[in-house]
Structure 1
Amino acid sequence: MKGARIFRTIQVKLIIIYVLLILIAMQLIGVYFISTMKTSLMASFTNNLNDQANILTKFVEQKFSSASLNSSMTDEQTTEDLRDMVSTLFSINQAEIQILDASGKVLTTSVPSQQSYVGRKNTTLAVSRALQGIRDNEEDIIGEDNVRKKVIAKPAYHQQKIVGAVYIVASMNELNETVNRVNQIFVSGMLIALGLTGVLGVLLAHTITNPIKVLTRQATAVAEGHFDRQVPVHGDDEIGQLSEAFNDMTNRLREALSANEEEKEKLASILANMSDGVVAADEHGVVMITNRRAREMLGVKRGEGMQLTELLGLNERQIDELMRGLEHAIIIRKEALEVEDDEIMRVTFTPIHRRDKTTAGTIAVLQDVTEQEKLEQSRREFVANVSHELRTPLTTIKSYAEALDDGAMQEKELGERFVGVIRNETERMIRLVTDLLHLSRLDSNQAPLRRQATNVPDMLEEVADRFSFQLRQKSIHAAVQVEAGISTLWLDRDQIDQVLDNLVSNAIKYTMDGGRIEISARKPDAATIAIRVKDTGIGIPQKDLNRIFERFYRVDKARSRNMGGTGLGLSIAREIIKAHGGTIALESEWNEGTTVTFTLPALHEGGGSA
């Protein structure tokens, strides 16, 4: 596998390509060159033999001509002359030469070992053709020694008559050896060229692949998140331009990722600090993202990976309709999520669409609407209570007015009693409307505080004096206690008097004859004054304590209404104390009494701390 992987590298491929190209080129050049050279050598060899044969034929013709003209020259002398001439030529050309007469009989030969052929006829085709007068007689043969040889036969003429022939057999060993040496030289040169090509290919491939390797390492580093490295640029060629482009891409990618990280951090910060819960799910309803507020509202430690149906406590049909946009919002009550049942959430769904308009997921925004629902319920109860409180006296007034109209006015005592009832109900309505207007001004901050320096002991004593008649009627003992060091406070005297009057009035109403009411002031810390109204009355049940400051809320509605209360006193007291920057609290035990304590900041004239 490792060897196969090596052959897949660009460097090895380039080297192989270079070597193959050179090998193919050398082979083509070699085949053409050797073939051309062999043809040229063969042609030169053949031409040389033909020239020698032609020369020898001239000599033979001259000898035969001289012998015919000189009668004193015997055949032996002629043959001897021909033998000397052939021997001389043989020493030059290293060829077998035979001189034949007109009948084809061998007169002489240049090869001593072939002297036995002298006197015999040469019956080869070339000789036969030459004795027939054909001049161009060439053929290649394989000799007995398995050597390729060239055969040439030329006719000799005397006075237009064939008197003999020249027969030459030349070995082609030297030519073949020359060709083989050339082949060896070419092969050696080709191997040397291939070796040099391989070395040069390695160097050239290295110059190409080394920058690519550097780019590969840089790309790997970028993939791992290292954007601070730069690819060296060694030139202005294509690889240099690629390196510059890669460096530019790395810088831009670093900037894009940095911007993306910043946006991601911003989004994560926004999601983490949102007052609303956010849940993101994919197209299959699997939760991908939840922020801290959503987990707190849903009571889970980790919502990722859960199904929306499981996380929100909804069935699949509801989730499907919400994710498809058929519905946009739904109200979830906490009892469905097995937590407190006094919290309500509104979940608003927004589908996430792809470019092809298909749904890629959904985002659910969770809003705690418990307070809104409570306020809405309080508003409904307030309207109902106001309607009820007004309807009762109006009905009474209407009934007594109709009775007076029907003749009750004729009876003086009865008429006066009816008019008294009408008057009382009217005054009750006036008190109710007055309290409502007062509450409205407090809610809308239209009742500004008119602070003034107020002596706290005197204010508490005056409250007790104002209710002295009612206290004596019920034989209730009232005590005023002021802690040492408390003297003057900067407050709205009229409004605080209204709070104290309401608290003392309630204490008197719900305390039995012979009971006790204590009005006290103390200083729990340097910046606060606490004023307490404590009675030994019937008290308030524990189940009503949390709602006692609500508007129109009464523990015993019938009894409270008969005592002339509107159900708004404690609500007005709470708003007044809140406007002063203080707090009010109520503690009570059934049949043991009630303690109402409100605190005020200890301010001096000008609004500073005392």
Structure 2
Amino acid sequence: MNGKRFFRTIQVKLVIIYLLLILVAMQLIGVYFISTMKTSLTDNFTNNLKEQADILSKLAARNLAMKPSSDSEASSESAEDLSLVVRNLFSISGTEVQVLDGNGRVVATSLQVAESYIGKKNTSLAVSRALQGISDNEEEVIDENGVRKKIIALPVTYNDNERVVGAVYMVASMDSLYDTVNRVNQIFFSGLLIALGLTGLLGILLAHTITSPIQGLTRQATAVAEGKFDLQVPVLGDDEIGRLSMAFNDMTKRLKEALSVNEEENEKLGSILSNMSDGVIAADEHGQVIIWNRRSLEMLEVQSCEGCSLSELLGLTDSMLRELQQGKQQTVILSREQETDEPEGVLRATFTPIHRRDKGITGTIAVLQDITEQEKLEQSRRQFVANVSHELRTPLTTIKSYAEALDDGALEERELSERFVGVIRNETERMIRLVTDLLHLSRLDSNQAPLRRRQTNVHEMLDEVADRFSFQLRQKSIRASIRVDRSLKTAWLDRDQIDQVLDNLMSNAIKYTLDGGTIELGAQKPDPSSIAISVKDTGIGIPKKDLSRIFDRFYRVDKARSRNMGGTGLGLSIAREIVKAHGGTISLSSELNEGTTVTFTLPALQQEDGESA
């Protein structure tokens, strides 16, 4: 694997390219040079043989022109002289030479064994052509020993009439020529190997100068991919690679700055998402959740959204989710089931499609808002309006009925008219009390009832409350007692408003305590920073199912009995608002048929704090 990777490097490729270029160039040069040299040597060799054959033909022309009928002794001497010339001239060169007469018979030869050839006829094609007067007779042959030979045959003509009197036949070995060519090939091949070795070494050096900066760029790119932006690529020159190195260093710097800005923005976005009061969920184009914040987990009461689909997470159908993703619908109301007895929670999910250029919708962002409290407030408002309407309608209906009765003739009967007028007066006073309580609650809700704190003796305040209700207590034979801790002397509070709280609590305790019962007013300090005041009775108590709503406005446990006793259903609500304005809390504990205890706790302020409040 490493070997394959090595041969794929730019350095090896450059060296191979250099070597291939040199090899191709040297091969072209070698082919041209060897071919030219071989042609030149062959031409020179052939021309030399032709010149020798031409000389021999001129020497042999006179002897061959002699008639065979002439003096036989003279003719024999002439043939011997010709053979001697041939053997002397061509014995050194190793060329086989034959002088032939007009009939193609060997007259003289350069071979040592002449007797076996003299007088024999040479039947080769070249000789036949030469005896016919054709001068261009040459050919290359390879004998049975594998020796390449050059054959030349020239006609021998006599000067007087250019008559062909014979032929010169020459056979020369070309081994020396081809040995020369082979030696040149070997020299060229050796030179090629040396040139390739030097080119390879030079190519390695040159390739290293190119690949070394590239390797540095590669290492830097790998470091940048791993998040290391502090390294710099060395700039080794002002060439293309040097400019590339400078551009890469500048790119690394800009990338580092861009990533820093991106990380900062991501941290800001993450911090915003984590601390948002609304839940945020982002999904891809397939509806798979990819981003969520902590608030969304709390709202949906799940541990994680990883691997969840948006439809399963929010309990939506696929068709509804597609409409929301496409922007056909933006808002949907979701209900959550509560594990406790509290009303189920209500979520409002607002969907916004994510658009990407040239790709359309690539995802969806859902913003979850907990509107449970808003729904509760809206429901309370509707219930409050209904309760107020009902509370006002009952006395108004009674007043109208009795007024119509008086108008129909009851006014003429004194006793009946007085009773009717008394009922109208009571219902009117009840409406006045109701409106007064509503106005008081309105001022408390809008903080238009400022506290006027002053130092108050707690024991004295509770005594006065008992005195105010002494007549009602005697009527029902209820015994009232006061218990105050010795350490608790005075407190800084709004005496008028706390008196109203105590009056409301005392009035309720008397109403719902049977004759002969007891009521206990108490005050203590559960800790140095607070004061607890309680009203405890032995009345009929409150069922457990009503305890959670006892402080709601117009809420009554026994509606008919409360109206008959003159209650408006706002006393405990007013008490809670007054205690809350003092920075305290109020609570109620009760057992059915055993009694009820209402306790409100106020902060134990010092004189400076009370004056500044």
**1:342 matched to 2:343:** yes
Say which of 180, 184, 193 aligns to 2:186: 184
State the AA in 2 paired with 1:262.
Answer: E
Give CA deviations for 1:499-536 in whole Å, capped at 9, x if unaligned.
22222222222233333332232222222222222223
**Which residue in 1 is equivalent to 2:585?**
583
Cα RMSD for the two superposed structures? 3.7
**1:437 shift after superposition:** 0.7
Asked if the contact 1:552–1:568 (Cα under 8 Å) also holds between the matched residues in 2, the reply is yes
1:592 paired residue number: 594
AA matched with 1:418: F
Read off the aligned partner of 2:154 and give its amino acid letter. A
| Residue of structure 2 in register with 1:37 after alignment | 37
Residue of structure 2 in register with 1:448 after alignment: 450
Decide whether the 8 Å contact of 1:140 with 1:151 is kept in 2: no
Partners of 2:288 and 2:308 within 8 A in 1 = yes
- C-alpha separation in 1, matches of 2:401 and 2:238: 109
Q: Secondary structure in 2 aligned to 1:332?
A: strand
Q: Is the 8 A contact 1:603 1:609 kept in 2?
A: no
- Going from structure 1 to structure 2, the CA distance change for 1:425 and 1:93 (only over 3 Å counts) comes to same
Instruction: String of CA shifts for 1:119-150, please: whole Å, max 9, x gaps.
Output: 66666665666566665554445567644034
* CA distance in structure 2 between the partners assigned to 1:261 and 1:277 by the alignment: 22
- State the Cα distance separating 1:408 from its structure 2 match: 3.2
CA distance in 2, matches of 1:487, 1:543: 38
The question of whether the paired residues in 1 share the 8 Å contact of 2:130 and 2:153 is answered with no
- The secondary structure found in structure 2 opposite 1:607 is helix
Q: Distance in 1 between matches of 2:420 and 2:299?
A: 59
Separation (CA, whole Å) in 1 of partners of 2:361 and 2:133: 106
Deviation at 1:182, TM superposition (A): 1.6
Q: One-letter code of the match for 2:333?
A: I
CA distance in 1, matches of 2:528, 2:282: 51
* One-letter amino acid of the structure 1 residue matched with residue 26 of structure 2: M
CA deviation vs aligned residue, 1:140-173 (integer Å, no higher than 9, x gap): 4556764403425353545556576655443322
Describe the shift of the 1:339–1:449 C-alpha distance in structure 2 as closer, same or farther (beyond 3 A): closer
Whole-Å separation in 2 of the counterparts to 1:62 and 1:596: 168
Write the distance in 2 (CA, Å) between the matches of 1:428 and 1:2: 101
2:538 aligns with 536
Determine the C-alpha separation between the residues in 1 that align with 2:123 and 2:475.
181
Q: Which residue number corresponds to residue 50 of structure 2?
A: 50
Which stretch of structure 1 is more off in the superposition, 556-565 or 289-298?
A: 289-298
State the partner residue of 2:173: 171
**Take 1:54 and 1:370, find their aligned partners in 2: how far apart are those partners?**
130
What is aligned with 1:472? 474
Partners of 1:499 and 1:573 within 8 A in 2? yes
The 2-side partners of 1:363 and 1:134 are apart by 105
Looking at structure 2, the residues matched to 504 and 98 of structure 1 have their Cα atoms a distance apart, in angstroms, of 165
Corresponding residue for residue 68 of structure 2: none
Superposition map of 1:227-306 within 5 A: 227-306=229-308
Please report how far the alpha carbon of residue 547 of structure 1 lies from its aligned counterpart in structure 2 after TM superposition: 1.5
2:289 touches 2:305 (CA, 8 Å); kept in 1?
yes
Percent identity between the aligned chains? 69
Structure 1 residues 99, 306: CA separation in 2 closer, same or farther (over 3 Å shift)? closer
TM-score normalized by the length of structure 2: 0.85
Distance 1:320 1:164 in 2: 114
- Hey, what does 2:394 align to over in structure 1? 392
2:354 paired with 1:364: no
Aligned equivalents of 1:548, 1:277: Cα separation in 2:
33
Summarize the alignment of residues 113-262 of structure 1 with structure 2, pairs less than 5 Å apart: 113-114=113-114, 116-118=116-118, 137-142=137-142, 146-153=147-154, 155=156, 157-160=158-161, 167-209=169-211, 211-213=213-215, 215-262=217-264
Asked if the contact 1:334–1:341 (Cα under 8 Å) also holds between the matched residues in 2, the reply is no
Q: By how many angstroms is 1:451 displaced?
A: 2.3
**In structure 2, what is the Cα distance between the partners aligned to 1:483 and 1:141?**
147
Please give the alpha-carbon distance, in whole angstroms, between the structure 2 residues aligned to 1:350 and 1:385: 37
- Output the CA distance in 1 between the equivalents of 2:510 and 2:34: 139
Tell me whether 108-117 or 174-183 shows the greater mean CA deviation: 108-117
SS of alignment partner, residue 272 of structure 1? helix
Cα distance in structure 1, aligned partners of 2:33 and 2:271? 81
Distance 1:218 1:462, change over 3 A: same
Deviation (angstroms), 1:438:
0.9
The aligned residue for residue 95 of structure 2 is 95
Alpha-carbon distance, 1:456 to partner: 2.7
Q: 1:433 to 1:41 in 2, by over 3 A?
A: same
Tell me, in whole angstroms, the C-alpha distance in 1 between the residues paired with 2:523 and 2:62: 172
Distance change in 2, residues 1:542/1:147 (3 Å): closer
Cα displacement string for residues 332-363 of structure 1 (whole angstroms, at most 9, x for unaligned residues): 3333x777661222241415344357544433
| TM value normalised by structure 1 | 0.85
Structure 2: 5+ residue runs without aligned partners? 66-70
| Contact 1:108-1:115 at 8 Å conserved across structures | no
1:332 aligns with 2:337: no
SS at match of 1:333: strand
| 2:24 is equivalent to residue 27 of structure 1 | no
CA distance in 1, matches of 2:132, 2:480: 177
SS at structure 2 position matched to 1:518:
strand
- The answer to whether the 8 Å contact 1:347/1:364 transfers is no
| 2:22 partner letter | I
Q: Aligned equivalents of 2:426 and 2:142: distance in 1? A: 159
Separation in structure 2 between the aligned mates of residue 557 and residue 244 of structure 1, nearest angstrom: 88
Among candidates 545, 551, 554, match of residue 552 of structure 1? 554
Q: Secondary structure at the match of 1:606?
A: helix
Change (3 A) 1:31 1:567: same
* Corresponding letter in the other structure for 1:566: T
Compare 381-390 and 142-151 and name the one that shifted more: 142-151
* Structure 1 Cα separation of the partners of residues 125 and 474 of structure 2: 176
- Alpha carbons of 1:436 and 1:357: their partners in 2 closer, same or farther (altered >3 Å)? farther
Which residue is equivalent to 2:563?
A: 561
**Contact 2:49 / 2:152 at 8 angstroms: preserved in 1?**
no
Conserved 8 A contact 1:347-1:367: yes
Partner of 1:426: 428
Judged with a 3 Å threshold, the aligned counterparts in structure 2 of structure 1 residues 528 and 77 are, in CA distance, closer, same or farther, namely same
Q: Between 395-404 and 562-571, report the one with greater CA deviation.
A: 395-404
- Residue 459 of structure 1, CA deviation: 2.4
